[in-house]
Amino acid sequence: MQYTRIKQLREDNDYTQKYIANELKMKQPQYARYESGKREFPIDNIITLSRLYKTSIDYMLGETDEKKPYPRIKKQ
């Protein structure tokens, strides 16, 4: 899977790999393997990143060029 946009979003927001790794509660070398595509991101980490970057998962994974996130479901 291509994670080019995940790296691009991190760099566009001036975040370091270490900062994002801390947000995801992992060490920087582990995050680097995910970002480079050597390992698959767990879905919960992808969700966390989409919220952090305020974008859709589809955009992050290259399925759409629309950055705007989908409306969130209201919990009852």
The pair of three-digit structure tokens given for residue 4, joined into one six-digit string: 């080019």
Q: pLDDT tens across 51-65, in order?
A: 999 999 999 888 888
Distance CA 76, CA 61 (A): 29
Domain that includes residue 12, residue range: 4-60
pLDDT tens digits along 2-48: 678 999 999 999 999 999 999 999 999 999 999 998 999 999 999 99
**Contacts of residue 5, Cβ cutoff 8 Å, sequence gap at least 6:** 59, 60, 61, 62
65 within some domain: no
Which pair of tokens denotes residue 74? 């209201």
Domain count, the chain: 1
Q: What is the CATH number of the domain that holds 26?
A: 1.10.260.40
pTM of the model as a whole: 0.84
Q: Decide if 35 contacts 7 (C-beta within 8 A).
A: yes
